[in-house]
Amino acid sequence: MVEISMPAIVTAICLLDQGSGKGTTRTHIQKFVFLAEKWGLFPAAHRFSLYLHGPYSRDLDGEIMALCAASMVRDMRDSSGFGATYRVSPELAAAAGKFFAGKLGPLETLAESLAPKSSRGLEAIATSEYVRASSLNPDQVKQRVKEIKPHLTPQEIDGAYDEAVRLRQTLAPTSI
């Protein structure tokens, strides 16, 4: 495991859980870490590729499972019966918070924005940001997302692109 990964993942789970109050899904963790790394809020420690629900890292998924196996993170069945939610102990949360003490403000802002989003909304935002990395103009990014994710409506794509721009400008103004 990369030295920074464990505290970053635990911090992501803690902050997202605070925002939702009902546990953190794997999709939320994947998209949070992707955007945090992309915008320089976490050191880039994972390789992401475009996958079924947007950017996905097999390495990150393996690290989440390793944290569960080590009993550092608990995985529980989601109340809907599908998937799992993740939680950490208060002691581990405090330790992770100290690790990122200087950057918790932007991370909390990102978590507050992402925590209430559905998997579909997260997919749209993260995919827009993933595609944007290919130096396309905004209309080209939206067109490319529509091609990659035909199940998303034009309104969802426009909203997700705008949300990604707003978050990027707020959290990482020098990365634009």
Q: What is the pLDDT of residues 87-100, one digit of tens each?
A: 887 777 777 667 66
List the structure tokens of 86. 């993740």
Q: Pick the residue with more confidence: 1 or 27?
A: 27
Query: Which of 31-35, 46-50, 90-94, 172-176 bottoms out in mean pLDDT, i.e. has the lowest?
Result: 172-176
Mind giving me the DSSP string for 88-126? E-HHHHHHHHHHTGGGHHHHHHHHHHHTT--HHHHHHHH
pLDDT of residue 14 exceeding 60, the answer is yes
Q: What angle do CA 22, 10, 76 make, to 5 degrees?
A: 40
Give residue 118's Cα distance to chain centre. Answer: 12
Q: Pick the residue with more confidence: 9 or 126?
A: 126
Q: Which residue has the tokens 């103009």?
A: 137
pTM: 0.85
Total residues belonging to the chain:
176
Q: Please, where are the H alpha helices in 21-57?
A: 26-38
- Average pLDDT score over residue span 14-21: 67
At 141 the pLDDT is 95
With a pLDDT cut of 70, the percent of the chain lying above it is 84
- Average pLDDT score over residue span 97-119: 79
At 160 the pLDDT is 96
- Average pLDDT score over residue span 4-33: 75
Number of domains in the chain: 1
Residues 6+ apart with CB under 8 A from 102: none
List the structure tokens of 84. 């799992």
Q: Domain of residue 112: give its range.
A: 5-175
- Average pLDDT score over residue span 114-121: 89
At 21 the pLDDT is 64
